[in-house]
Amino acid sequence: MPASPPDPAGSSVSEVRHRAARIEDWIHVQHVRWARSRGQVPTVVPYTGYGSTEWVRVLCRVLLSRRISPDETSPRRRRRREQGIRGWRSFTSAPVGNVPVVIEVGGQTIEVLTDRGGVVDTRVPVSLAPGWHQATLSTKGSEKVTAPIQVLDPEVSFGIISDVDDTVMVTALPRPFVAFWNTFVLDEHARMPTQGMSVLYERLVRAHPGVPVLYLSTGAWNVAPTLNRFLSRNLYPAGPLLLTDWGPTHDRWFRSGRAHKEENLRRLAGEFPGVRWLLIGDDGQHDEVIYADFAAEFPDHVAAIAIRQLTTGEAVLAGGRGKASQVEVTVPWVAAADGSEMADGLAEVGLL
């Protein structure tokens, strides 16, 4: 059954699309033509999704890349076939918008269209048991790939939503250079985990069996493979990455990272009304304000807020500390310098 995700840059607003978006679309068209002329073919890059026992949220992106022979013997190229486009190629590859992607999951098959940035973010009605599953994704001319899907148990009443930069990994860079670092420093070994945070997350997972862990970041989808490898290598619990896309929208020059976080928090509150979330972030961006405002709007959906306090040097590089919210917060609030201190604070409020 054909379906397509809502696209803010669709035909209903195309006449008023921002000039930057029209320029970006023209660049994409030229890029796609050039890539196809060089024999590049569509490649589906899968991302981890999540869902309930009645539906799943499936995420992926379609880019053009060089064709890989089925009998390729190079280990590096075999990994690329299995994991999709990685590293700097994920930024330089042409995104393919408005193409159908076939999704097969739980015996259901649907077809959806990519948005103008080549991204699919869609909800599929399907009956699945709690636990980890796989969705199979493909588009015309591409090989089939699989995307992990975490299905939450209906009995789950506690979850974790975590920021990434300066929360689970130490960025220690001026904010304007964070995107550059994430783009061109491709080796997860070059990223330093925040002291004690992976141990904290492991303790939370043991204390709350079946707890979902979602990583909500303003990073671009292009860095998802690198972030997944970093999280796995540093023993963070597996979970979906909720990232965003760079560039202009139909009505503004740049996408709002803050709006991205606010929209996903509200979406999760609606999707899992019985879950109370532990919101973990840092004081170098807008996490304090975003989380406080969300807790004020949805107090029954927040178990606690935990904020990692940056060092003075990290705060300077981050452009200063975030401004405190003017909203009165009634949920437990923990502020600490590292995972060990944060664990002590969460134990005091009964979450460990």
> Which pLDDT band, with edges at 50, 70 and 90, does 325 fall under?
low
pLDDT digits (tens, 9 = 90+) for 152-183: 999 999 999 999 988 998 875 555 555 555 55
Rounded to the nearest 5°, which phi and psi values hold at 112? -130, 160
> Do the beta carbons of residue 303 and residue 277 sit within 8 Å?
yes
Nearest alpha carbon to residue 152 among 83, 71, 213: 213
pLDDT score at 166: 85
Instruction: State the average pLDDT over residues 186-207.
Output: 84
Residues 152 and 51: their CA atoms lie apart, in Å, by 6
Instruction: State the average pLDDT over residues 2-6.
Output: 42
> Which pLDDT band, with edges at 50, 70 and 90, does 288 fall under?
very high
**∠ CA 18-89-145, rounded to 5°:** 95
Residues 144 and 82: their CA atoms lie apart, in Å, by 9
Residues pairing with 104 in the sheet: 109, 136
Instruction: State the average pLDDT over residues 62-79.
Output: 62
Which residues make Cβ contacts (< 8 Å) with residue 21, sequence separation at least 6?
9, 116, 247, 248, 249, 250, 251
Q: Where are the alpha helices (DSSP H) in 131-256?
A: 175-184, 197-207, 224-233
Decide: helix, strand or coil at residue 44: strand
Q: Where are the domains of the chain?
A: 11-151, 158-348
Question: What count of Cα atoms within 13 Å lies in the side-chain half-sphere of residue 308?
Answer: 27
DSSP character for 118?
S
> Which pLDDT band, with edges at 50, 70 and 90, does 94 fall under?
confident
Residues pairing with 214 in the sheet: 161
Residues 54 and 126: their CA atoms lie apart, in Å, by 5
Best CATH choice for the domain 11-151 from the list 4.10.140.10, 2.60.40.10, 1.10.1060.10, 3.40.50.1580: 2.60.40.10
Which residues make Cβ contacts (< 8 Å) with residue 8, sequence separation at least 6?
249, 250, 251
Taking domain 158-348, whether its CATH number is 3.40.50.1000 is answered by yes
pLDDT digits (tens, 9 = 90+) for 294-307: 999 999 999 999 99
Least confident of 65-74, 281-290, 329-338: 65-74
Sheet of 333-336: strand order equals 241-244, 213-220, 158-162, 276-282, 302-308, 333-336
Q: Which amino acid is at 251?
A: D
Look up tokens 């003075």; give the residue. Answer: 312
pLDDT digits (tens, 9 = 90+) for 99-137: 999 999 999 999 999 988 889 999 999 999 999 999 999
> Which pLDDT band, with edges at 50, 70 and 90, does 251 fall under?
very low
Q: Which amino acid is at 229?
A: R
The pTM of the whole model exceeds 0.75: yes
> Which pLDDT band, with edges at 50, 70 and 90, does 227 fall under?
confident
